[in-house]
Amino acid sequence: MWSPDSTKLMFTNIKQAEEGIRTQVLLADLTLNETTTLIGTNDDHDYGYYSLAWSSIEERAVVGFRLSENQPAQILWMFNPARLDGILIANEPEYTYNAPQWDTWGSTLVFQQFRLKGVHAPEIAYWQDGFDAPVLLTEGILPQWLP
């Protein structure tokens, strides 16, 4: 996922460790011609990092991952790539979340969610600044903003 100024590229990678595979989030800075591990350097288990989205607001990105290796649920965490602090924005234990997409202004995030138990249609939800929890929008998959 490209940074808003297109000078950095954030992506996931798989590293083989003695304990098994570990996914990591890497950051390639094209102006410095260097790549660093942003998230996952010292993880004690694989969090399954995936589904990256970088907002047009430079200090805001989203990554999906599993909080527990024993649970299939995946959450979405919004974080500041420079400081690595942030908040969980979608983390209901009976759901898994993926395919996040920011709007042009970087203030609203749409994503798909799947209920893990029972027979349910995939859903599209959204989150904005000030929301305590995501809001269900409709049934569907792979949401995209129109230009």
Q: CB neighbours (10 Å) of residue 79?
A: 19
145 assigned to some structural domain: no
CA distance 38 to 35: 9
pLDDT, tens digit, 9 for 90 and up, residues 1-10: 999 999 999 9
Q: How many domains does the chain have?
A: 1
Q: What CATH number does the domain containing 57 carry?
A: 2.120.10.30
Query: Residue 114 domain-assigned?
Result: yes
pLDDT of residue 9: 97
The answer to whether residue 99 is domain-embedded is: yes
The two structure tokens encoding residue 132:
């305590």
Determine, yes or no, domain membership for 89. yes
Q: Say if 92 falls within a structural domain.
A: yes
Give the pLDDT score at 19: 82
Domain that holds residue 12: 8-139
Supply the pLDDT for residue 17: 82
| 146 within some domain | no
* Tokens at 99, concatenated: 């395919």
Residue 144 lies in a domain: no
pLDDT digits (tens, 9 = 90+) for 105-137: 999 999 999 999 888 899 999 999 999 999 999
In a domain, 27, yes or no: yes
| pLDDT of the residue at 111 | 98
- Which residues have a Cβ under 8 Å from the Cβ of 62 and sit 6 or more positions away? 51, 52, 53, 54, 55, 76, 77, 78, 79, 89, 100, 102, 109
State percent of the chain over pLDDT 90. Answer: 79
Half-sphere exposure (Cβ direction) of 76: Cα atoms closer than 13 Å: 29
Distance CA 77, CA 90 (A): 7
